[in-house]
Amino acid sequence: MTIRDEALERAKELDIRLEAHRAQVRVEPPKRLFSLLRAYLHRYTEESGIQTNVYDLIKIHGPDSGGLAVIELGPQIDKGPTPEHFSPPPERALASGSQYETEESILSSLLTAFNSTGMRALHASSCDGTGTMTH
């Protein structure tokens, strides 16, 4: 087996593990999660001293009849800093958008994120029901 074949094999295994992890993530219903996210970002901006009104930046659309909602923070296509971006301090990374899917009232989430170096990454996110969020 070549190095390339091994890398592909490892990538496939990683995909399977990530998918399994994502399927296990349970979060609050969309509007409740939106409140938690907004409160989290509000505290984050206060603690970080960021001059941003997060209430103007974070938006929710939905949920629709199927229970799907989109929570947006900043532009969905990243072309560099704009006033619509949420700009955390350089050493921190934050989610920029998320989609939710529901299955028998159980929701899973996937966040798309831009970290401080501009690289796009995927993060699973969960809320433990007490308002504490983990990334």
> What is the contact surface with another protein in residues (CB under 8 A)?
31-32, 34-36, 38-40, 42, 55, 58-62, 64, 66-70, 72, 75-77, 97-99, 101, 110, 112, 130-132
- For residue 107, the minimal CB distance to another protein (Å) is 13
- For residue 5, the minimal CB distance to another protein (Å) is 24
- For residue 2, the minimal CB distance to another protein (Å) is 27
Nearer to another protein by C-beta: 130 or 134? Answer: 130
Cβ-based burial of 5 (10 A; exposed 0-12, middle 13-18, buried ≥19): exposed
Residues 33-45 as b/e (b if ≥16 CB within 10 A, e otherwise) read bbebbbebbeebb
Nearer to another protein by C-beta: 75 or 87? Answer: 75
Strand pairing class (94-103; 106-114): antiparallel
Residue of 122, 117, 59 whose CA lies nearest to 92 = 117
